[in-house]
Structure 1
């Protein structure tokens, strides 16, 4: 008997077509003239897609020429393509959140449901590659980035085991919430630093500084209050073997807290906040700001020439066009090589 597939959901979520404008956009704030080198004061972000429940984990997937991001509660990994169409890349995920492009050009993911780091596979799913630390299940990996040497770095807070719409409610096996470094070649997993609730992370262009956001404040939104109000990005010096030192405060956003963020070729930190994107120089000078129609959770640079800035803001996927390439670090050069 032939299965009737007429009522099954399709992979296509948006037809090819142009973006939509944001109503009542109030404009970009230029606080420092250096920002004018890459961003016009009259530029405006536009809407590429709407109707995610909680967009997260933006990454430019160069080998496939698309922007990939997670809709965590809807349990989907989505892909936006330059012609404007949006499709489901992986359906029925285990609450994927953060994503990154591995050194081999294959996507790696953070999963709340299986509490692991996974890797996209040829069957259209994902295979776990990191599930435990010292014999105990990870908490709920949240965000991930890949260093110049190919090591996979990720954060492991407890958000995904506190919210049933983003994972499941279980007791953690670990008594710490940490940043880890995983070497895919040797399978070595190292605990690098502890936090209240580590969230986003990203390297400086030269790989010598690691930035990590700690957003324990957000637990107040989840459980109606929390004794810790941490809402900041900290920085570390990174040794050649990955060892972290010189932990120091970097910034707090003007509103809300810094969730995901990206670092450009100049070392500028483009971070999410309660009401939009804030941009800071490495010396902590605030360079500028632009509002988003909903609270953003993550962002990345992308596009064929790495001259576009993508933002996942709750139900929106937005993009802001820049004056020129703004992500020319080792990672971007590597990704361009993949596309050749």
Structure 2
């Protein structure tokens, strides 16, 4: 089955599992780059983004350090949008020059974000992202964030960045540790996978 409007990524789906490349700590946030026919992904504890192209047996380092990036996606102009666990921000990166980046969101109510996790772009250009505390320094290795990183906020929320740059907290009550996001094609509503208690394995699919 082909994925609609996938810009060639379904050509990689052969119906059987195969290893494309290896040697990473904990991979997350894969995003297909249609203009380059390449797969970009995060290695959180490695503090790097990698790029893989069909036919290669290894992935090259695309950006290091990456701010312990997790979720990745693209905006309408083809820039890479990244949730940075350790950078505690959502950033926009020029795909052609990964050294060029700007912060789109770093603080809420004067306090640092927890550790932005996943994000999705609405057709309006608005960016929704989740902000759990998975990047906090728990003393365990490998780390998913910066050394000594502790939460400043007393909640884990879901936020929206408007096209004009304004930041809004759209959900903050009734759940903890928001994770993945997806947009419903027939509705402006978004779906977030929520982990109720850290380490319990219990998850809830919530539509807001």
TM range (shorter): 0.7 to 0.9
Cα contact 2:86–2:149 (8 A) shared by 1: no
Deviation at 1:115, TM superposition (A): 0.3
Structure-2 separation of matches of 1:63 and 1:233: 33
**1:1-340 alignment to 2 at 5 Å?**
43-84=15-56, 85-121=58-94, 123-125=97-99, 126-163=101-138, 165-168=143-146, 169-183=148-162, 185-194=163-172, 195-217=175-197, 219-220=198-199, 230-236=202-208
Structure-2 separation of matches of 1:207 and 1:62: 25
Structure-1 separation of matches of 2:166 and 2:125: 13
Which sections of structure 2, spanning at least 5 residues, go unmatched?
1-9
Cα contact 1:97–1:110 (8 A) shared by 2: yes
Question: If each structure's strand is expressed as a fraction of its own residues, which one has the higher value?
Answer: 1
Deviation at 1:163, TM superposition (A): 4.2
Deviation at 1:230, TM superposition (A): 4.1
Cα contact 1:196–1:230 (8 A) shared by 2: no
TM-score normalised per structure 1:
0.51
Deviation at 1:229, TM superposition (A): 6.2
Deviation at 1:123, TM superposition (A): 4.2
- Asked which structure has the greater RCO (Cα within 8 Å, sep 6+), the reply is 1
Structure-1 separation of matches of 2:42 and 2:88: 16
Which sections of structure 1, spanning at least 5 residues, go unmatched?
1-37, 221-227, 237-340
The aligned residue for residue 272 of structure 1 is: none
Q: 1:213 to 1:174 in 2, by over 3 A?
A: same
Cα contact 1:117–1:131 (8 A) shared by 2: yes
Question: If each structure's helix is expressed as a fraction of its own residues, which one has the higher value?
Answer: 1
Structure-2 separation of matches of 1:79 and 1:162: 27
TM-score normalised per structure 2:
0.82
Q: 1:207 to 1:101 in 2, by over 3 A?
A: farther
- Give the SS at the match of 1:49: coil
Q: 1:186 to 1:43 in 2, by over 3 A?
A: closer
- Give the SS at the match of 1:158: coil
Aligned length: 187
